[in-house]
Amino acid sequence: MPSDCIFCRIVAGEIPAAKLYEDESVLAFRDIHPAAPTHALVIPKAHIATFNDVSEGEAALLGRMVRAAAAVARQEGLGAGYRLVGNCGRSAGQEVLHIHLHLLGGRDFGWPPG
């Protein structure tokens, strides 16, 4: 766990977060700078810097993250739909180098994003 990774520090309990979901490998919590009425971050508890760094053995973890996002969406009443966003690298907007999915909902979204 990199000591300078804010998400690793949240997993370790060093920084508080409004948790919405947690199991042995995934944590979801509210984003402190929401871009939608519902904005949660879904992260693996293990530190993986970018989606490019996911190994073959960690591939199932991505599925667990998506399932956790779906559970949070149900819990938050987003039955009409939601958006999952995963940025890879600084040029794509990844601010924290620890993979995460943004779960956004509670309003309509346009396409294309960005």
User: Using CA atoms, how far apart are residues 58 and 46, in angstroms rounded to an integer?
Assistant: 10
CA 78 to the chain's CA centroid: 16
Checking 54-60 for CB contacts under 8 A at 24+ apart, the result is: 54/99
Task: Name the DSSP class of 71.
Answer: H
Instruction: Please list the active-site residues.
Output: 100
